[in-house]
C-alpha cells in the first residue's frame, strides 16, 4: 500500500522535473520566435543557445513518466493508453515536429523564418496540451461501458476548466522560461537580452498565478478534489509566498557593484551601454573573441552564491551593465521552490486516485517483485540522470565559453 504511494511520488517527482526542464525548453522556442519577429538578435541568440544543447536531455524526463507509469502502475498505463489515444497522438505529432526541426535547423546554417514559427508555436501549444491531461485525471471525462474505457471528447472540449488548465500550462511555461533565460542572459553578460526576458517574466508571472488560481479554486472542479485541495492549503499558501518573493527578486534593485567587481558603475539606465554591449557580442560571433575565464564554473552554479562570480569579471570587463533591476538567479530558485510547493500540494490532494474514479493508486499497482526491481533501476538511474543533467547544465548554461561564443 505505502509502496504504491512511494512509487506514485517517484513518478510525480519525474513529472515535476519535466515541468521545470520542459517549461524552459519549450518556452525558449516560443521566446525565440517572438524575438525573431521582433528583431531582438541578442535575446534570440540566448534562447537558441539554451535549446540546442538540452532539448534531447529534457525529453528523457517525458519518456520516463510514461515508462515509470507502465512499470509501477500497469493498470493506469492501460487506462490512460486507451483513453488518451487522440490527445496524446496530437502531443506526439507536435513534439516530433518540434524536436526534429530543431535538429535540422542546427545542421542548416540559415533556416527559413517559418522554421522558428513551427518551433515556437509547438513550444507554446505543447505545455497547454500536456497540462490538459490533469483535468482528465481528475475525473468526469472518462466513460466506462461494457468494461471499455473511452474519452468523452465533447465534454472535455466543452469544459472551461480544461481551457484554464491549458492556459495555465502556457503561462507557466512562458514565465518559467523567461525567468530562467533572464538569468541565463545575465550569466552570458548579455544585458540587452536580460532586459528583454525580464520584461516578459514580470508580466507572465502574474498571469500564470491568476490563471492557476482560477483553474484550481474558482472554476467548478470535482468535489473530491476540491475538498482535498483546500485541506492542503498551506502548500499553496507557501507556494504563493515563494512566487511573491520571486517577483520581488525580479524588481530588486541591482546592487551589481557589490557582486560584480569594481568596474561596475551606478549610472542609471545608461543608453551607451546598450549598443556597445550588442556590438561586442556581434563582433564576437564566429571566432571566439571572448577571453577565456579560468574561474571554474562550479562557483557560478551554486544557487546561493553571489550571481556571476565566475563570469562577472569578464562581463564587467567587456561591457558595463546598466541598472535594470532584478536578481534573476534568486528569482529562478524561488520559482523552482514555488513550483515544487504547488506540485506537492496538488500531488497530495490527487494521490488517492491515478485516474478518478477508475484507477485508485493502491489498486493500479504492479507486483512486489517488479516494484522492488524497478525502484532500484529508477533510483540508480536518477542518480545518473539528475547529476548528468546538472553537469550538462553547467557545461552549456553556466560555462561562459559556451554561452558567450
Partner 1 sequence: MGNVGLVRALFGTSLAFHIVFATLGVGLPLMIALAEILALRRRDPLYRLMARRWAAFFSVFLGASVASGTIVAIQLQLLWPAFMRLAGQIIALPFAIEVFAFFVEAVFTAVYVYAGERILPGLRILSALLVAIGAGASALLITDVNAFMNTPVGFRLQGGRLVDVHPWRAMLSPSMPTEITHVLVTAYLAAAFALAALTAAAWLRGAPGAQADYRRRELSLTMAVAGVAAVATALTGDASGKFLAAVQPQKFAAAEGLFRTTAGAALNVGGLPDAAAAVTRGGVDIPGLLSWLATGRWTGTVRGLLSFPRAQWPPVGVTHPLFDLMVAVGGLSLVAATLYWLWYWRAVAAPAPPTPPRWLLAGLAAMGPVAMLGIEFGWLFAELARQPWTVTGVMTTAQAATSAPQAGVLFFPFIALYLALAVGAVLAVRTHMRHHPLAAALGTDSGGQEGEGGGGPGAGRIAPPGGTPVMEP
Query: Which span sits near partner 1 by CB under 8 A: 106-114, 256-264, 338-346, 347-355?
Result: 106-114
Among 9, 41, 66, 306, binds partner 1 (CB under 8 A): 66
Shortest distance (Å) from residue 180 CB to partner 1: 18
Shortest distance (Å) from residue 251 CB to partner 1: 34
x/- contact string, 17-56, with partner 1 (CB under 8 A)?
-----------------------------------xxx-x
Site for partner 1 in 385-404 (CB under 8 A): 385, 388-389, 391-392, 395-396, 401-402
Q: Is residue 366 at the binding interface for partner 1, with CB under 8 A as the rule?
A: yes
Q: What is the C-alpha separation between 28 and 47, in angstroms, rounded?
A: 5
Q: Is residue 224 at the binding interface for partner 1, with CB under 8 A as the rule?
A: no
Q: Return the bridge partners of 143, or none.
A: 150
Among 5, 41, 70, 152, binds partner 1 (CB under 8 A): 70
CA angle 389, 394, 398 (to 5 degrees): 140
Terminal Cα-to-Cα distance of the chain (whole angstroms):
53
Q: What is the C-alpha separation between 29 and 9, in angstroms, rounded?
A: 30
User: Closer to partner 1 at the Cβ: 79 or 201?
Assistant: 79
Shortest distance (Å) from residue 106 CB to partner 1: 6
DSSP secondary structure string for all residues of 329-376: HHHHHHHHHHHHHHHHHHHHHHTTEEETTTEETTTT---HHHHHHHHH
For residue 198, how many other CB atoms are within 10 A of its CB? 23
Q: What is the C-alpha separation between 30 and 36, in angstroms, rounded?
A: 10
Among 1, 2, 39, 109, binds partner 1 (CB under 8 A): 109
CA-nearest of 294, 323, 291, 331 to 309 is: 294
Please state the length of the chain.
405
Write out the H or E segment, with its range, that includes residue 124.
helix 113-131
User: Closer to partner 1 at the Cβ: 79 or 136?
Assistant: 79
x/- contact string, 286-325, with partner 1 (CB under 8 A)?
xx--------------------------------------
Amino acid at each position: 500500500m505505502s509502496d504504491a504511494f512511494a512509487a506514485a511520488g517517484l513518478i510525480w517527482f519525474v513529472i515535476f522535473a519535466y515541468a521545470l526542464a520542459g517549461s524552459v525548453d519549450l518556452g525558449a522556442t516560443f521566446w525565440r520566435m517572438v524575438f525573431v519577429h521582433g528583431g531582438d538578435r541578442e535575446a534570440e541568440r540566448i534562447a537558441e543557445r539554451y535549446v540546442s544543447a538540452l532539448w534531447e536531455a529534457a525529453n528523457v524526463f517525458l519518456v520516463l513518466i510514461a515508462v515509470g507509469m507502465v512499470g509501477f502502475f500497469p493498470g493506469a498505463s492501460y487506462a490512460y493508453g486507451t483513453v488518451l489515444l487522440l490527445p496524446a497522438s496530437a502531443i506526439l505529432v507536435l513534439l516530433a515536429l518540434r524536436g526534429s526541426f530543431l535538429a535540422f535547423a542546427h545542421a542548416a546554417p540559415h533556416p527559413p523564418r517559418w522554421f522558428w514559427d513551427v518551433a515556437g508555436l509547438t513550444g507554446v501549444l505543447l505545455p497547454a496540451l500536456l497540462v490538459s491531461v490533469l483535468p482528465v485525471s481528475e475525473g468526469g471525462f472518462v466513460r466506462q461501458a461494457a468494461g471499455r474505457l473511452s474519452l468523452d471528447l465533447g465534454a472535455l472540449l466543452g469544459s472551461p476548466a480544461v481551457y484554464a488548465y491549458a492556459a495555465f500550462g502556457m503561462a507557466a511555461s512562458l514565465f518559467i522560461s523567461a525567468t530562467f533565460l533572464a538569468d541565463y542572459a545575465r550569466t552570458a553578460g548579455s544585458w540587452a537580452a536580460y532586459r528583454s526576458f525580464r520584461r516578459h517574466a514580470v508580466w507572465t508571472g502574474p498571469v500564470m498565478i491568476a490563471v492557476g488560481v482560477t483553474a484550481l479554486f474558482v472554476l467548478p472542479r470535482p468535489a473530491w478534489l476540491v475538498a482535498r485541495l483546500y485541506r492542503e492549503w498551506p502548500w499553496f499558501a507557501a507556494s504563493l509566498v515563494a512566487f511573491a518573493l520571486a517577483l520581488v527578486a525580479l524588481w530588486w534593485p541591482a546592487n551589481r557593484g557589490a557582486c560584480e567587481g569594481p568596474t561596475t558603475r551606478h549610472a542609471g539606465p545608461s543608453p551607451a551601454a546598450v549598443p556597445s554591449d550588442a556590438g561586442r557580442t556581434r563582433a564576437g560571433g564566429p571566432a571566439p573573441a571572448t577571453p577565456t575565464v579560468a574561474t571554474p564554473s562550479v562557483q557560478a552554479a551554486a544557487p546561493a552564491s553571489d550571481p556571476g562570480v565566475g563570469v562577472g569579471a569578464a562581463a564587467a570587463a567587456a561591457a558595463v551593465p546598466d541598472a535594470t533591476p532584478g536578481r534573476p538567479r534568486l528569482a529562478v530558485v524561488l520559482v523552482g521552490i514555488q513550483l515544487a510547493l504547488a506540485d506537492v500540494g496538488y500531488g497530495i490532494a490527487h494521490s488517492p486516485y491515478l485516474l478518478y474514479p477508475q484507477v485508485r493508486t493502491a489498486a493500479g499497482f504492479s507486483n512486489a517483485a517488479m516494484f522492488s526491481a524497478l525502484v532500484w533501476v529508477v533510483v540508480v538511474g536518477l542518480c545518473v540522470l539528475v547529476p548528468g543533467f546538472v553537469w550538462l547544465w553547467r557545461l552549456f548554461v553556466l560555462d561562459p565559453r559556451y554561452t558567450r561564443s
